[in-house]
Amino acid sequence: MATGKLPFNNSGNTKELIHSIKYKEPKIPNGLDEDLKHLLYKILKRKSKRRLGLRGDIRQQPFYRSINWVALEKKELQPPFQPRTPAANLFQPYDGKPPLSFLNEDEATSGEATSEDRNIIPGFSFLSSTWLE
């Protein structure tokens, strides 16, 4: 979101992207703020146990030092940017189909992630294994 580009190989080849995520370091542009670069490296750690959020409080990172977390939690802060509300005519009329109707019945009603869901990219964990218990 900071650059509009993926931090890993984005050649359009899924195998290359997965290889890049699993084995290469993320590409963080030099022109970014140093605090932001350090934050990105910490949240993009390959091993979930070493990733920021599991190891250390993200709020303590220098990139966020200007945020008054107490006021933010109390919803007392004004956002620095507020996107415009899209025009009402941009929304598609309801077609009568239930949400996620493209899924089969089992997929649409099951709230549990399967082991297959958790292993989209073999060898890469999105969550700490302790969160999956």
- pLDDT tens column, 25-84: 888 888 899 999 999 989 888 888 888 877 778 889 999 999 999 999 999 998 888 877
Number of domains the chain is built from = 1
Asked whether residue 125 is domain-assigned, the answer is: no
CATH of the domain at 55: 1.10.510.10
CA 115 to chain CA centroid, Å, is 20
φ, ψ for residue 41 (rounded to 5)? Answer: -60, -40
Asked whether residue 107 is domain-assigned, the answer is: no
Asked whether residue 105 is domain-assigned, the answer is: no
Asked whether residue 33 is domain-assigned, the answer is: yes
**What residues contact residue 56 under an 8 Å CB cut-off, 6+ apart?**
42
pTM score, whole prediction: 0.55
Domain holding 57, by residue range, is 1-79
Asked whether residue 14 is domain-assigned, the answer is: yes
Helix, strand and coil in the chain, % to nearest 5: 40, 0, 60
Smallest CA-to-CA distance from 6 within 37, 33, 35, 28 is with 28
